[in-house]
């Protein structure tokens, strides 16, 4: 199955059409996505100056680029002609997680923007959205939070998750900010940027016990 986003480039009436086709819109940090960009010539031939792919993340407040690559340089696209260009784009390790517990995090998005530039005109590009899922260690920690009774409220592009705390910790706080730092071989979890813990990514961890210890540590700090 392929996933596609067909649009007429904003290059004037009769301009070329751009069809970005992703092989799979489901991905993970530190993975790659693949597909093709299909161009269909309009009513007249045009000189394509370049095609650029950009991985973008945004929430309701901020947006930032995660990476970009030039897919093709100069070539001519004749009227009515078609051209298919393969695409491969790396999803960096720091890419925000957009889907938790099988559902999209409200207001948070990651997508691929395809920019087409022709002589004397530029199409700023639409976004083809990706569902970015947590890596196994992050997923295990998030599952532990849910098992303990924490409820996800929101997240932002800096990958800070806001949770309503579980009932057993109501005397400590009503909500907490949980953030991850993931490296090539480790994952670290921090609560309210105050306390945290770090493990190898392939290490078996009792995350429920870790979260419980961190919450109780916060309680001790506040006394």
> What average pLDDT does range 143-172 have in this prediction?
94
Percent of the chain scored above 90 by pLDDT?
59
pLDDT tier for residue 56 given thresholds of 50, 70 and 90: very high
CATH numbers and ranges of domains, the chain: 3-132 (2.60.40.640), 136-222 (no CATH)
* pLDDT tens digit sequence for 85-128: 999 999 999 999 999 998 999 889 999 998 888 765 556 567 88
Q: What is the pTM of this model?
A: 0.85
Strand stretches in the chain, DSSP E: 3-8, 17-22, 26-27, 31-40, 46-58, 63-72, 75-77, 82-91, 99-100, 103-104, 109-118, 121-123, 127-132, 151-155, 160-164, 175-182, 186-191, 195-200
């Amino acid at each position: 199955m392929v996933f596609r986003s067909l649009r007429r480039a904003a290059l004037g009436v009769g301009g070329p059409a751009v069809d970005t086709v992703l092989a799979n819109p489901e991905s993970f940090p530190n993975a790659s996505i693949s597909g093709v960009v299909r161009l269909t010539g309009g009513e007249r031939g045009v000189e394509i100056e370049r095609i650029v792919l950009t991985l973008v993340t945004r929430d309701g407040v901020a947006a930032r680029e995660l990476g970009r690559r030039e897919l093709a340089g100069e070539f001519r696209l004749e009227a009515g002609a078609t051209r298919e260009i393969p695409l491969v784009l790396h999803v960096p390790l720091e890419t925000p997680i957009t889907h938790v517990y099988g559902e999209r995090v409200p207001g948070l998005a990651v997508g691929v923007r395809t920019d087409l530039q022709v002589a004397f005109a530029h199409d700023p590009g639409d976004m083809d959205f990706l569902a970015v899922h947590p890596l196994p260690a992050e997923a295990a920690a998030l599952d532990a939070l849910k098992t303990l009774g924490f409820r996800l409220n929101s997240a932002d592009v800096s990958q800070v998750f806001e949770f309503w705390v579980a009932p057993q910790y109501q005397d400590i706080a009503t909500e907490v900010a949980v953030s991850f730092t993931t490296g090539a071989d480790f994952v670290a979890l921090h609560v309210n940027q105050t306390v945290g813990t770090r493990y190898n990514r392939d290490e078996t961890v009792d995350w429920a016990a870790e979260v419980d210890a961190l919450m109780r540590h916060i309680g001790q700090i506040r006394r």
